[in-house]
C-alpha cells in the first residue's frame, strides 16, 4: 500500500497508526510515543527547517510510517517469542486439562499477583487519596498547580510499575514508556493537555479500584489456598492423633468430634481437587485483571 509523504507530525502519526493496523493497543501506544518523541526532537533541533521538509528528510533516515511499523512489529514479535513460555502439551480428556493447570507457571504467577494485590492496592489508594487531597487543597495557592502536576506525573509512573507487574505475572502486553510530553510547549499548555487526557482520569480510577479488588483477591487467594492444604493434611493429623503421636488438649466440658477414618480419603481428595481448582480460579482472575488494566491504563487506538 502506497501512502503520500506526510506533511506534518500529526499526519505522520496517523499514517503510522494506520500501518500498525490491528496490533496490540499497548504496542501501538509505545510506537506512537517513540515516533513522536523522535520527530519532535528533530524538529526542535532544526528550528529553521519547515516541518514538511523535515519529514521528507526523515522518511529516508528514520523511516516512512509503513517501514517504522514493520520494524516495530518485527521487533515486538521477536521479544514476545523470546519471552513466551514453552507450550504445554495438549490434553485430550477433560480431567487431563483440569490437572494441566498445575504445570502452567502463569497460574502460580497469577496466584502470587492476587496476594501482592493487597499491599500494592493499599499503596496506590493511599497515594492517590493523599495526592488528590493535597492537589485540591492547595489549588487556591500558587503551588497548587505544580503539586497537582507532580501528582499526575507520579500516577503515570505508577501505572508503568503496575504495567510491569501485569505483563510479567499475568502475561498481558502493557505500555513500556511514559506518554510523550513536548517540553517546548508552555507549562500551562502541557498541564492543560495532561488534565484533558482521559487516560489521566482512568489511571486515577484504576489506582482507587486496586484496593477493594486487592482485598477481594487476597481473601480469595488465602482462603482457597489454606482450606485445600488443611483438607489434605487433615487425614495425616487424624492418624497421628489416633496413634497417640499428637496430643489435643480439650477441656472437660467439651467433646472432641472427629470424622471417622473412612472419610479421610474423601477429605484428601477434596483438598487435592480444590488446589487445582484454585489455580484455575487464579488464572481466570488474572485474565479479568489484565483486561481491566488494558482498558484503564492503555490509550485506545483511534
pLDDT of residue 116: 95
Contacts 24+ apart (CB under 8 A), 1-9: 1/66, 3/64, 3/65, 3/66, 5/55, 5/56, 5/59, 5/64, 6/55, 6/59, 6/65, 7/51, 7/52, 7/55, 8/51, 8/52, 8/55, 9/36, 9/39, 9/40, 9/43, 9/51, 9/55
pLDDT of residue 184: 63
Q: How far apart are CA 232 and CA 227, in angstroms?
A: 9
Q: What is the pLDDT of residues 285-294, one digit of tens each?
A: 999 999 999 9
Confidence of residue 1 (pLDDT cuts 50, 70, 90): very low
Q: Does residue 91 have a pLDDT over 80?
A: no
Q: Does residue 237 have a pLDDT over 60?
A: yes
Pick the more confident residue, 218 or 171. Answer: 218
Mean pLDDT of 249-274: 71
236 contact partners, CB below 8 Å, separation of at least 6: none
Q: What is the pLDDT of residues 265-281, one digit of tens each?
A: 888 888 899 999 999 99
Give how far Cα 298 sits from Cα of 35, 69, 71, 293, Å: 17, 19, 22, 7
pLDDT of residue 224: 94
Amino acid at each position: 500500500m502506497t501512502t503520500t509523504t506526510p506533511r506534518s507530525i500529526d499526519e505522520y502519526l496517523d499514517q503510522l497508526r494506520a500501518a500498525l493496523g490491528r496490533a496490540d493497543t499497548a504496542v501501538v501506544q509505545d510506537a506512537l510515543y517513540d515516533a513522536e518523541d523522535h520527530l519532535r526532537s528533530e524538529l526542535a533541533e532544526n528550528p529553521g527547517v519547515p516541518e514538511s521538509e523535515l519529514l521528507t528528510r526523515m522518511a529516508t533516515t528514520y523511516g516512512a510510517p509503513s517501514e517504522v511499523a514493520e520494524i516495530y512489529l518485527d521487533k515486538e514479535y521477536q521479544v514476545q517469542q523470546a519471552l513466551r513460555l514453552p507450550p504445554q502439551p495438549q490434553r485430550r480428556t477433560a480431567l487431563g486439562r483440569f490437572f494441566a493447570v498445575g504445570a502452567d507457571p502463569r497460574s502460580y504467577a497469577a496466584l502470587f499477583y492476587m496476594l501482592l494485590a493487597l499491599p500494592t492496592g493499599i499503596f496506590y489508594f493511599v497515594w492517590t487519596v493523599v495526592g488528590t487531597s493535597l492537589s485540591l487543597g492547595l489549588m487556591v495557592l500558587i503551588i497548587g498547580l505544580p503539586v497537582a502536576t507532580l501528582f499526575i506525573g507520579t500516577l503515570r509512573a505508577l501505572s508503568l510499575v503496575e504495567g510491569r507487574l501485569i505483563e510479567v505475572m499475568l502475561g498481558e502486553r502493557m505500555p513500556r514508556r511514559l506518554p510523550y510530553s513536548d517540553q517546548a510547549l508552555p507549562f500551562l499548555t502541557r498541564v492543560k493537555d495532561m488534565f484533558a487526557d482521559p487516560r489521566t482520569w482512568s489511571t486515577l480510577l484504576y489506582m482507587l479500584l486496586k484496593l477493594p479488588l486487592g482485598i477481594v483477591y487476597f481473601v480469595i487467594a488465602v482462603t482457597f489456598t489454606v482450606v485445600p492444604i488443611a483438607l489434605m493434611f487433615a487425614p495425616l493429623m487424624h492418624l497421628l492423633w489416633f496413634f497417640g503421636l499428637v496430643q489435643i488438649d480439650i477441656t472437660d466440658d467439651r467433646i472432641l468430634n472427629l470424622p471417622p477414618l473412612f472419610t479421610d480419603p474423601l477429605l484428601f481428595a477434596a483438598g487435592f481437587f480444590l488446589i487445582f481448582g484454585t489455580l484455575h480460579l487464579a488464572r481466570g482472575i488474572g485474565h479479568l485483571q489484565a483486561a481491566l488494566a488494558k482498558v484503564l491504563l492503555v490509550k485506545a487506538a483511534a
